[in-house]
């Protein structure tokens, strides 16, 4: 890891992805750092491809930010939603024997599991 590391993306000269009408976002991404975080080994070719792909993702995210209008309140759904829950009505459950039929171990009519908390 370099002694001095710049936080976040750094603007550079704009580029264009070969064979694409979309312009690459002008950023430098520390692909080595991203690969270390993901714990993957990348070849130089894979790093170049990943850098281009991440630049496109960031460009599209920036376009979404441009579309947002100040007069439109934030919402989670495009249409208003009312109570979407069903009525909570009791229904018959499985009989105990049927519920325990495929249990690897059972004891006194209950599932027997390994203790995970020390007393």
* Residue found by looking up tokens 């009505």 in the block: 89
pLDDT for 47 beyond 50? yes
- Binned at pLDDT 50, 70 and 90, residue 107 comes out as very high
State residue 28's pLDDT score: 67
4 or 99, which is more confident: 99
Res 78 pLDDT > 50: yes
C-alpha to C-alpha distance for 107 and 110, rounded to whole angstroms: 5
pTM: 0.37
Please check the confidence at residue 63 and state whether its pLDDT lies above 80: yes
Give me the residues paired with residue 27 across strands. Answer: 11
DSSP letter for 72, please. S
Q: Which 3 state secondary structure label does DSSP give 49?
A: helix
pLDDT of amino acid 2: 45
């Amino acid at each position: 890891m370099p002694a001095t590391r710049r936080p976040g993306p750094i603007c550079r000269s704009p580029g264009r992805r070969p064979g694409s009408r979309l312009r690459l976002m002008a950023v430098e991404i520390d692909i080595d750092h991203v690969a270390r975080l993901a714990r993957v080994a990348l070849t130089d070719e894979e790093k170049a491809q990943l850098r281009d792909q991440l630049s496109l993702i960031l460009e599209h995210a920036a376009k979404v930010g441009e579309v947002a209008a100040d007069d439109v309140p934030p919402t989670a759904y495009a249409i208003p939603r009312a109570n979407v829950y069903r009525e909570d009505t009791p229904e018959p459950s499985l009989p105990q024997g049927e519920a325990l039929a495929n249990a690897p171990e059972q004891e006194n009519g209950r599932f027997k599991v390994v203790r995970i908390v020390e007393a």
